[in-house]
Amino acid sequence: MNNLIEKIRSDFPTLNVKVHGKKLIYLDNAATTHKPFIVINTLDNFYKLHNSNVHRGVHHLSQIATNLYENSREKVREFINARHFEEIIFTKGATESINLIAYSYGRYFLNEGDEIIISHMEHHSNIVPWQLLCKEKKLKLRIIPIDDDGNLILEEYYKLLNEKTKIVSIVHISNTLGTINPIDKIIEEAKKYNAITIIDASQSIQHIPIDVQKLNCDFLVFSGHKIYGPTGTGILYGKKEILEEMPPYQSGGDMIKSVSFDRTIFNDLPYKFEAGTPNIAGFVGLSAAIDYINNYGFDYISNYENQLLEYATRKLTAIENLKIIGNSSKKASVISFVINNIHPHDIGTLLDNEGIALRTGQHCTEPIMRRYNIPATSRVSLCFYNTIDEINVLYNEIIKIINIFN
Amino acid sequence: MNEIQELYQQVILDHNKNPRNYGEIADATNIAEGHNPLCGDHIKITAIIENDIIKDLKFKGSGCAISKASASIMSTLVIGKTVEEAKKLFDVFHKIVTSDIRDRIETIELGKMAVFAGVREYPARVKCASLSWHTLMQALDKAQKDSTKVSTEIILN
């Protein structure tokens, strides 16, 4: 282990936690990442020194809290290179961001017979809101199929597109297969039919740089807790001209300019979509998380994570009776696998006993499980505080489990 | 024996590898299916119940070692028993996997089910062990109401 990785690991206090008396080996980063001291201390400081509500009072602390909160919005804008500050809406997570689009944009602009395209590798959060909308508005949900390696079949996507296509909502990187989807091509084709494009960046935002202007997507969503920030922080990016046309999603305080019993005038962007007191401390913490990532930069992070991915793939592939689900040539550091005759939950419990945390189950992607005719998978998801040594321990423990079951 | 060894002891590994009464009864009088969406476990129980006695029972499905061994051991315990006796066994099983009763219940009553005592150390796995029993209870409940062929499905969340 070199000095830099040691330094990075020392920034994350939870990595020192002992599990069943063993050193924690945390390989569940696609579910949530751990938080560096800079984020934890920022939350701590906010509550100790700056706690107040935002956009409310004229008093000193309220002003500081408002500044910190709005600086975070600017930080996010810069991070994904949005054109305008008002295009960054704070939500409680990627799930709420998608629901906001479905309920506000979808309900308002879509009509009976219109079509929405998603893919076979979507997280449930990018399936269910559209199903509900389709039922309510009598719309049609179309699904882009995937091949045996876990790639979207683009020719089928092109066939699905037509004048009735109003929304194309696609995951950037699959949380189960690790596939990096060619979203630039997907967005470009959707534009030919004037369809609105939504990118679920929940699993890409922590691995690769995102530039929403270059992508030219209409919406992009992600969760702060997957990029080393606090839970309960979500981002909805939307193009200003579209957000302006959309009706509010939730209503109440802070999202209004004026209220009387006859009529209410809604606030401007982004506040029109932020009713009620938001997760102020959380977003101040998210700003610190972005600083932390920027400090290392994606050149370093992506390169290091790719090395881990390659090494882990090689090690796991060498295990007899182990099959990796998701073998795209373009992958992020997420590896799902199954082992003959050993259920993922048994693998998960036995690995946990050795201090190894990984996800087992369907990963909120039940259609993928059906596609590959498997009940569940075990999933290793790596990030830039993981090490080659940890992958070696995982390898050895998997071999032991196979021996127990045979 | 430490906790993990207790959970994955030889009896459980054996029943997982060579499950007893695995399959499907074509002319079953009672059918029930159970599903645990959290892990994707699925079980189908087919049984022949005559005069309130479980004449035969088979199970089929996919699941982890704990759920498969539980179904397998359950089948060996309930075949030949009355519906009422099977329900009593379920109560005992339920206590074994959810509370520390080793000191209080006669070991003779625990019998083969004692191997599941280790499950309670792993709250996430209690449902794995219970799925087959809950599915059986569904089938039996229906059996008492009428004598026609019944089929039901439960979902454990």
Q: What is the DSSP string of B49-96?
A: EETTEEEEEEEEEE--HHHHHHHHHHHHHHTTSBHHHHHHHHHHHHHH
According to CATH, the topology of domain B3-150 is Sufe protein. Chain: A (3.90.1010)
Q: pLDDT-derived band of residue B157, with 50, 70 and 90 as boundaries?
A: low
- How many CA atoms does the CB half-sphere of B55 hold within 13 Å? 10
pLDDT band at B149 (very low <50, low <70, confident <90, very high): low
In the predicted structure, residue B150 carries a pLDDT above the cut 70: no
Question: Of the candidates A163, A212, A164, A206, which has an alpha carbon nearest to the alpha carbon of residue A187?
Answer: A212
**Pick from A341, A349, A376: which is nearest to B40 by CB?**
A376
A365 close to B (CB below 8 A) = no
Determine the pLDDT at residue A255. 87
Mean pLDDT of B79-92: 94
Q: Residue B36: what pLDDT?
A: 84
Per DSSP bridges, beta strands B53-62 and B41-50 are: antiparallel
Catalytic site residue A364?
Answer: yes
Q: Does A145 lie at the interface with B, CB-CB under 8 angstroms?
A: no
CB distance B122–A349 less than 8 Å? yes
Domains and CATH numbers, chain A: 3-27+297-401 (3.90.1150.10), 41-294 (3.40.640.10)
Q: Which parts of chain A sit beneath pLDDT 70?
A: 1
Residues on chain A touching B64 (C-beta within 8 angstroms):
343-346
B40 vs A349: CB contact, 8 Å cut-off?
no
- Closest residue to B63, CB basis, from A341, A343, A360: A343
Q: Enter the ipTM.
A: 0.83
A-B contacts (CB, under 8 Å)? 52
The answer to whether the Cβ–Cβ distance between A345 and B39 falls below 8 Å is yes
Which pTM was predicted? Answer: 0.92
Asked if the Cβ–Cβ distance from B40 to A405 is below 8 Å, we say no
Identify the band that residue B74 occupies on the pLDDT scale cut at 50, 70 and 90: very high
pLDDT reading at B155 higher than 70: no
- Note the pLDDT of residue A236: 98
Nearest to B152 by CA among B136, B137, B139, B134: B139
What pLDDT score does B7 carry? Answer: 85
The pLDDT of residue A55: 87
What mean pLDDT is reported for chain A?
Answer: 96
A346 touches chain B (CB under 8 A): yes
pLDDT at B145 over 70: no
| pLDDT level of residue B60 (50, 70, 90 thresholds) | very high
- Contact list in A for residue B3 (CB cut-off 8 A) is 353
Q: Do A361 and B40 touch (CB under 8 A)?
A: yes
| Chain B residues within 8 angstroms (CB to CB) of chain A | 3-4, 7-8, 13, 16-17, 37-42, 62-66, 68, 122, 124-125, 128
Q: Considering only CB atoms, which chain B residues are within 8 Å of A369?
A: 40
Quote the pLDDT of residue B124: 82
- Residue that has been written with the tokens 């695995």 in this structure: B22
Would an 8 Å CB–CB cutoff place A349 in contact with chain B?
Answer: yes
| Cα–Cα nearest to A80, from A293, A280, A249 | A293
For the segment B57-86, the average pLDDT, to the nearest whole number, is 94
Chain B residues whose beta carbon lies within 8 Å of the beta carbon of residue A360? 39
Domain range summary for chain B, segments of one domain joined by +: 3-150
Min CA distance, A345 vs chain B (Å)? 6
CB atoms B39 and A376 under 8 Å: yes
What pLDDT sits at residue B117? 84
Per-residue pLDDT band for B152 (boundaries 50, 70, 90) equals: low
Are B137 and B22 a contacting pair, CB within 8 Å? no
Tell me if A336 sits within 8 A of B58, measured CB to CB.
no
B114/A159: higher pLDDT: A159
Instruction: Give the percent of chain B with pLDDT over 90.
Output: 51
Burial A142-157 (b: 16+ CB within 10 A, else e): bbbebeeebbbeeebb
Residues of B within 8 A of A365 (CB-CB) are none
Q: Which amino acid is at A275?
A: A
> Does the beta-carbon distance from B17 to A405 stay under 8 Å?
yes
Instruction: Say if residues B26 and B138 touch (Cβ distance below 8 Å).
Output: no
